[in-house]
Amino acid sequence: MKRKKFFGYIRVSTVKQGEHGVSLQEQRDAILRYASRAEIEIVEWFEEKETAAKRGRPIFNAMLRLLRLAKADGVIIHKIDRGARNLRDWADLVELIDQGIEVHAAAENLDLHSRGGRLTADIQAVVAADYIRNLREEIRKGFYGRLKQGLYPLPAPLGYVDGGKGKPKTVDPVRGPLLRRTFELYATSRLNLDTLTEEAERIGLRNRNGKPVGRSALGLILNNPFYIGLIRIRRTQETFSGSHEPLIGKVLFDRVQDILHGRTNQKIQQHDFLFRRLLTCKTCGRVLTGELQKRHVYYRCHGRSCRGTSVREECVEKELLRALLPLNLSDRECRYLQAKLAAKSTELVRARDARVESLRLSLERSRDRLARLTDAFVDGAVDKDMYEERKGSLLMERKDLEAQKTALDENPGGISEMLSEVFELAEHVYLRYKLDAPENKRLLLQRVTSNRWVEGKSVGFTLSIPFREIANRGENSNGAPYRNSFRTLDQLIDRLAEWFTRNPKVVNPAACGEPYQGGRDLMAGEGEKLAA
């Protein structure tokens, strides 16, 4: 009697399950014993390490195609649930049986060609599918339960390490600082993703396989709010508050997002012009492009309606120096300001404490709003998309408030120090700019100005707060100068103290945490001669 030729199909859900539990070898042995008793020849084995809970198993589907082409008389599987745990795949197997192709289960005494055997197998398939649905639901509950506790139930992202089951992720002592430095480098806006990838490799950043981090991976990292303490599930766009330690501050993260979404097509610069990417067209808002023409640098707008917008670098620098000149503080003013700050230190600390209390109340209100939003979602008053959008906004708002409160908590005398730093920078700022290296000039320009525009041949600069207040220190609210300059300086301190109290996390937008360092050493020697 001619022996029938069958396929053998064995499956485990994961590679790990293949090594432990019902292994592939145990299934193979059971099928071989069954085939020997039934006088069946196994002509080909199909081995798969894939879950049967959903469709799309490549090896299983390839086997079905061969069976439909009559490449074998049938197939032997270990159990019904080894072949299919979803009803669609089971329906495919039933269709093969109806076409005369034999399907046998080695560990189950079932005649799948009889009515009773088919009914029993159908029931087993339905039970297996229900088991998977229940298992999936329980896993989902556990997954979201962890998220609501602020725990990330997936492998730690680069820069963090797993702290253990039920514990928050902890900062990787090696990769964490390197990743923080990568954020800071990109925030300078001097690098695009291509050059950042090269720089990250140079400073030693590697993934868990010891290989350099690729460009696409860096893009995902820079967009991931996990590094500021939030957990975002990419597939569903749901956001949760994390209990892990933030790697970077929200101000730095926001700076990186502005660059990513506003300048995603940055070009690698062939010339490092002084005002590169710092000037915008007042008409169309485009960034002006630097060009070298006849030994002169020109900044032009290439918008169709702005062809006449072009200015030489010398003209830009001339207008910039004119804008910086009112910032210079005399020695007399500096001495008075420092003495006044020392005298007002207690008052500034009280103002800081009041702001801390205000931020604490704002955080409580934010938590209440989030709780009300969640109740509205549970009651069906808002749909899921609107809920996730508002929840994400509230969590970001809380991060802003927490960043401000942390900045004040960590530095009780911070307002006085911030004011001292600003006054120190404003002192002889005109001279500092003239004597500094080009890169420090760019940092200084970005620190003291908030808007730099060109219209036709005209150039304009808007000083950023608090430097705008310093430049206008000789005017009162009515625009007329005070006769007593000390009275003017008193009001200047009051206005800036109030502003810094409400904006404690002020970061250099050029370097995002890298303070301006130029000019100080140059104030001696040649600087003193120029000042004289």
Instruction: Calculate the average pLDDT of the chain.
Output: 79
Lowest mean pLDDT among 185-189, 354-358, 407-411: 407-411
* Phi and psi, residue 73, nearest 5°: -80, -20
Lowest mean pLDDT among 6-10, 415-419, 500-504: 500-504
> pLDDT digit string (tens) for 462-489?
988 888 888 887 664 444 444 445 667 8
Q: Encoding tokens for residue 524?
A: 């001696």
Q: Whole-model pTM above 0.85? A: no
Lowest mean pLDDT among 105-109, 166-170, 218-222, 281-285: 105-109
R_g of the chain computed on alpha carbons: 34
3-state secondary structure 82-97: HHCCCHHHHHHHHHHH
Contact (CB, 8 A) for 460 and 282: yes
Q: What is the pLDDT of residue 354?
A: 79
Q: What is the pLDDT of residue 42?
A: 92
Closest CA relative to residue 419, chosen from 494, 347, 522: 494
More confident residue, 504 or 400: 400
> pLDDT digit string (tens) for 231-240?
888 878 788 8
In sequence order, what are the residues at sequence separation of 6 or more whose Cβ sits closer than 8 angstroms to the Cβ of residue 374? 387, 391
CA distance 57 to 67: 16
Q: What is the pLDDT of residue 174?
A: 92
More confident residue, 416 or 516: 416
Q: What is the pLDDT of residue 481?
A: 47
More confident residue, 488 or 266: 488
Opening angle at CA 94, ends 92 and 95, nearest 5: 65
CA distance 290 to 140: 54
